[in-house]
Amino acid sequence: MADDFYQLLGVSRSADSKEIQRAYRALARKYHPDVNKQAGAEDTFKKISEAYHVLAEPESRAQYDRFGPEFRRYADAEREYASQGAGGAGGAGGSARGAGRTRARPGPSGFSWSSAQAGAGPGGASVDWDDLFGDVFGSRRGMDSEAELELTVEEAFRGGPRTVVLAGPDGDRQTFELQIPPGALDGQRIRVSGGGQPGRQDAGSGDLVITLRVKPDRRLRLDGKNIEMDLLVAPWEAALGASVSTRAPGGPITVRVPPGSSSGRRLRLKGQGMPQPGGKPGDLFAKVKIMVPPHPTSRERELFEQLQRESTFDPRSSSSSSPLLPVIPPRLDIGMVAVGARVHPELVRRFVELGLIAAAVDASGRLWFAPDAPEQVRRIVRLHADLALNYAGIALVIDLLARIDALEAQRTVIRPGRETPPWR
Domains along the chain with CATH numbers? 5-56 (1.10.287.110), 69-137 (no CATH), 145-215 (2.60.260.20), 222-310 (2.60.260.20), 332-409 (1.10.1660.10)
pLDDT score of 405: 66
Q: Residues with Cβ < 8 Å from 403, sequence gap 6 or more?
A: none
Please give the angle made by the CA atoms of 97, 100 and 105, to the nearest 5 degrees: 145
pLDDT score of 14: 83
| Burial (Cβ within 10 Å: 0-12, 13-18, ≥19) of residue 210 | buried
The Cα–Cα gap between 28 and 49 comes to 8
Instruction: Give strand pairing partners of 357.
Output: none
pLDDT score of 240: 92
pLDDT score of 276: 87
Q: Is the dihedral of CA 294, 298, 304, 308 positive or negative?
A: positive
pLDDT score of 95: 36
pLDDT score of 118: 36
Strands (E) across 234-380 are located at: 242-248, 251-257, 266-269, 284-290, 332-333, 360-361, 367-369
Other CB atoms within a 10 A radius of the CB of residue 244 amount to 19
pLDDT score of 138: 59
* Helix intervals (H) in 86-225: 129-137, 153-158
Instruction: Give strand pairing partners of 192.
Output: 208
The dihedrals phi and psi of 249, each to the nearest 5 degrees, come to -55, -30
Query: Containing H/E element for 347?
Result: helix 345-353
Contact status, residue 281 vs residue 273, Cβ threshold 8 Å = yes
Q: What does each of the 424 residues of the chain score in pLDDT, given as a tens digit? A: 567 888 889 888 888 888 898 888 888 888 887 778 888 888 888 888 888 888 988 888 887 887 777 777 665 655 555 555 544 444 434 333 333 333 333 333 333 333 333 334 444 444 444 444 444 455 677 788 888 899 999 999 999 999 888 876 667 788 889 999 999 988 888 988 888 888 777 778 888 889 999 988 888 998 888 999 999 999 999 999 999 999 999 899 999 999 999 998 999 999 999 998 878 899 999 999 999 999 999 999 999 899 888 888 888 775 444 444 443 445 788 888 888 888 888 888 888 888 888 888 776 678 888 888 888 888 888 887 777 777 777 777 777 777 776 676 555 434 444 444 443 3
pTM (global) more than 0.85 = no
